[in-house]
A = this chain, B = another copy of it.
Amino acid sequence: MIAKESIGDWFKTLQAGICDSLEVADGLGKFASDIWDRPGGGGGITRVITNGRVIEKGGVNFSAVWGKAPVPVLKSLHMDPASELSFYATGVSIVIHPINPFMPIIHMNVRYFEMTDGTWWFGGGIDLTPHYVLKDDAQYFHKQLKTACDRHDAAFYPAFKKWADEYFYIRHRKETRGIGGIFFDYLKGTDGFTKESRFAFVKDVGLAFAPIYVHFMNKNADLPFHEEQKNWQSTRRGRYVEFNLVWDRGTKFGLDTDGRTESILMSLPPMATWAYMHQPAEGSEEAKTVALLKQGIDWI
């Protein structure tokens, strides 16, 4: 059986590797590092990059926290709030906001949770939020995810792609956050999977991140753009803020349970705008993008 600490250690190594890859591809920006402790047990490393050549603002968080399970955690698991169970939770969370509006925003999360009663599961996912949907990029992205999934189970990609479409949905806007990706949670020792095989899958998801985003950095970071396209990016970033603050369960949960606010909200863009009743012109590239923010599109 894999010890929980070794999963945490692997995630910490993943964080360092991803930061290195992104720094090399950016060529200018450097990750700052904040090491923090959680009063109840454990802590994390928050790494933030700002004003790079390609990345405007990005965060790569690692944490491994433990202690008595907080009441909201127990409630969310439908467990007795008076229980004295302890938990261990570790993960890596990433959000990158690029400068170029033809570069997509990307989000990745891999996580592991364990309770002293023996309960454990993995969760995570990667999803992409282009300011402009470029179909080749969308296809590339989903193919990479499918490849990573297919190495483990042919049922993963279709199931986790659907889950992402459902999860990354801005209900009050009736649009998806972006072109989705994969999302999964509560991957336990069921359906013939062991902790080892679940972890192997989650590792592959984590390792898929850097090559995918570096591909976009190399391909799109120098595409020419004008001010109106940058403005459109700010509008789309507004929607990203709306999703994260209104609907994202991870954000809500972190803020509700007195998580480290600055690490949780590193996901917010450097700048966002809101205009009343903003509508892209008919037939414009912006309107075409909005028309593609739908669930159930087969991007491959």
Contact = CB atoms under 8 A, between A and B. Distances in A.
A102 to B, nearest CB: 22
Interface string A256-267: 001001101110
Given A171-B255, A173-B261, A245-B241, A57 B271 contact: no
B262 A266 contact: no
B262 A59 contact: no
A273 interface: yes
A182 interface: no
A57 B272 contact: no
Interface stretch (A16-24, A139-147, A274-282): A274-282
Given A234-B271, A242-B245, A271-B271, A57 B276 contact: yes
Interface residues of A, number: 33
A34 interface: yes
A266 B276 CA distance: 6
A217 to B, nearest CB: 20
A271 B270 contact: no
A246 interface: yes
A277 B255 contact: no
A106 interface: no
Given A273-B271, A274-B269, A246 B238 contact: no
Given A171-B255, A172-B255, A173-B261, A238 B274 contact: no
Contacts of A57: 274-276
Contacts of A246: 245-246, 252, 255
A138 interface: no
| Listed residue (A173, A238, A272) with the most chain B CB atoms within 10 angstroms of its CB | A272
A50 interface: yes
A262 B276 CA distance: 6
A285 B1 CA distance: 56
Interface string A1-36: 000000000000000000000000000000000100
B270 A273 contact: yes
A268 interface: yes
A48 interface: yes
A50 B271 contact: no
Interface in A214-272: 234, 238, 241-242, 245-246, 252, 255, 258, 261-262, 264-266, 268-272
A262 B275 CA distance: 9
Contacts of A34: 277
A258 B173 CA distance: 10
A57 B273 CA distance: 11
Nearest to A242: B245
Query: Closest 10 CB pairs between A and B?
Result: A245-B245, A268-B274, A172-B255, A48-B276, A172-B261, A271-B273, A245-B246, A262-B277, A266-B276, A272-B272
